[in-house]
Structure 1
Amino acid sequence: MANRRRRRSAARRRRVAMGRAGLAGGALLLITFVVFWSVLWPYVVAVGGVGGLGAAGWRLWRTDRLLRSRDRSWRREEAVKAGHRTLADVDKMSGTEFEELVAELCRRDGCSEVRRVGGTGDQGADVVGRLPDGRAMVVQCKRYAPRSSIASREMRDLLGSKVHFGADAAVFVTTTRLSGPSEEFARTNGIIAIHRDLLGLWNSGTPLAALAGLNGAGQGDRGHRRRWRKTYGANGR
């Protein structure tokens, strides 16, 4: 019994001694910190500043990643929507809306400095900009009913616009077909002619560069033209 009391008493003394030692150590550390604060405070502030800058940098990096991810998702969604736009939807557009669509497709395919200039005094141009290879381009847009056709004289106006704007390339985009003479005129004069069939491909995602070398070709044979007339009716705007 006496031995148990002695052991308990010794344990209490050890706990008291450890508590006093802890207090003494804390007090000594506090005194040291106060005494040497004038020396230590620049390092404390520097560590805190570096930590704060690191946290802020990480937050900015994470925000940038999130914004970029959302932007990519938005662009993918818009590309899908553009691919779902039908030629019937295009036929319902106004002339100005069609010009904006053509400008949008040019930008999608890597053209730069693209802007719509159609309107009074446009000198026969509706859109201007630069092709992906850097060449200046001038674009004329004709939103006609599918049953109509493009006469070669309308392409001659585009050549005048090319000279006026000092462009390197001329692009003619229409919602209908080209007449035989206008198709030949485009081929002879190096005009990038996008008729209705090619417009459908362009609208669905085929890049402009892939269509540029056709120069109005690809309208099919006589059978195709007969089916065209059966679908859209006789010529006339």
Structure 2
Amino acid sequence: MTMPVRRHPAVERRRRETFDLRSTALGFGLVALVLWGVAVTFKSAVRPHAHPLGALLVLFALLLLSVAAIRSKWLRRAARRAALEAAVPLVPEPPAPVLPATVGAPEAADCADIDPLAFEDAVSELCRRDGCSDVQVVGGAGDLGADVLATTPDGRRLVIQCKCYGAGHKVGSQDLQRFGGTCYAVHDADLAVVVTTSEFTDPALDYATQCAILCLDGAFLGAWNNGTGPAPWEL
């Protein structure tokens, strides 16, 4: 998935400041040339045989002093800004969501725009987006409880079961028991995860705790999808 490229605001400010410096220097140069022209014209009128070199040197010196003062001021401002930017860490831009942004919202019909197969594909894309490798969608008949297989960024084998349920339809303990019987013994998981657009019953959560299965409800899924929460393997 192609991510949008956003220019760093500090770079844009430096470009504007460089342009302003050049514009200011050019403006002073033009003013100096105008003044020099007026001075030469006036001096020629008063003293026709006078040489304009002295006036030219004076105006050139004034121009150099003006540019040096402007450059010194600009350098001081740039140094203060650089120190401030170094003290305040940049906040990374959240990644683009894969699922509808309303997934996980209490008032939203979480599965209104996606079917179970598309949900498995979306979860695999979230894994791929956030750095997993060897991502496979293996859900379907005979999947033995696994819908998505992947290798996490830190090298662990990730096994995910996806439950695309509507609001009010909770994942029960029987769903967890079927997955618990295969995730480690059959699929050799290092990290076993059940992710749903809905919620889990209390017995399901109790069983998951006993079997070291990570349960991600709709709220967690929504935060992961929108980039405001961690990925499962970061917990």
- Superposed CA deviations along residues 31-80 of structure 1, whole A, max 9, x for unmatched, are xxxxxxxxxxxxxxxxxxxxxxxxxxxxxxxxxxxxxxxx5537999933
Question: Within 1, Cα distance between the matches of 2:4 and 2:130?
Answer: 18
1:165 corresponding residue in structure 2: 187
Give the deviation of 1:114 after TM superposition.
0.8
The one of 174, 182, 203 equivalent to 2:204 is 182
Q: Does the CA-based 8 Å contact 1:138-1:161 persist in structure 2?
A: no
Question: Within 2, Cα distance between the matches of 1:210 and 1:167?
Answer: 12
Q: Does the CA-based 8 Å contact 2:171-2:199 persist in structure 1?
A: yes
1:86 corresponding residue in structure 2: 102
**Residue type at the aligned position of 2:212:** G
> Structure 1 segments of 4 or more deviating over 4 A?
74-78
Give the deviation of 1:130 after TM superposition.
1.2
**Residue type at the aligned position of 1:192:** L
2:170 corresponding residue in structure 1: 149
**Residue type at the aligned position of 2:220:** L
**Residue type at the aligned position of 1:207:** P
Give the direction of change, closer, same or farther, for the CA distance of 1:209–1:84 in structure 2 (3 Å limit).
same
- Find the residue that maps to 2:186 and give its secondary structure: helix
Max radius of gyration: which structure?
Answer: 1
- Superposed CA deviations along residues 100-122 of structure 1, whole A, max 9, x for unmatched, are 11111111222111110011111
201-210 or 159-168: bigger deviation: 201-210
The one of 102, 105, 122 equivalent to 2:126 is 105
TM-score normalized with structure 2 length? 0.54
Question: Within 1, Cα distance between the matches of 2:200 and 2:146?
Answer: 19
2:160 corresponding residue in structure 1: 139
Give the direction of change, closer, same or farther, for the CA distance of 1:123–1:130 in structure 2 (3 Å limit).
same
Please tell me whether residue 193 in structure 1 is matched to residue 215 in structure 2. Answer: yes
Q: Does the CA-based 8 Å contact 1:90-1:98 persist in structure 2?
A: no
Give the direction of change, closer, same or farther, for the CA distance of 1:149–1:83 in structure 2 (3 Å limit).
closer
TM-score normalized with structure 1 length? 0.53
Give the direction of change, closer, same or farther, for the CA distance of 1:148–1:83 in structure 2 (3 Å limit).
closer
**Residue type at the aligned position of 1:158:** F
Give the direction of change, closer, same or farther, for the CA distance of 1:121–1:129 in structure 2 (3 Å limit).
same
Q: Which has the higher contact order (CA 8 A, sep 6+)?
A: 2
Question: Within 2, Cα distance between the matches of 1:144 and 1:134?
Answer: 30
Give the direction of change, closer, same or farther, for the CA distance of 1:177–1:72 in structure 2 (3 Å limit).
closer
**Residue type at the aligned position of 1:143:** C
5+ residue gaps, structure 2: 7-91
Give the direction of change, closer, same or farther, for the CA distance of 1:207–1:107 in structure 2 (3 Å limit).
farther
Give the deviation of 1:142 after TM superposition.
0.6
Q: Percent identity?
A: 37
**Residue type at the aligned position of 1:164:** V
Give the deviation of 1:179 after TM superposition.
0.5
Give the direction of change, closer, same or farther, for the CA distance of 1:82–1:99 in structure 2 (3 Å limit).
closer
RMSD of aligned alpha carbons: 2.7
Q: Does the CA-based 8 Å contact 1:173-1:194 persist in structure 2?
A: yes
**Residue type at the aligned position of 1:100:** D
| Structural mapping, 1:20-99, within 5 Å | 73=4, 79-82=95-98, 85-87=101-103, 88=108, 90-92=110-112, 93-99=114-120
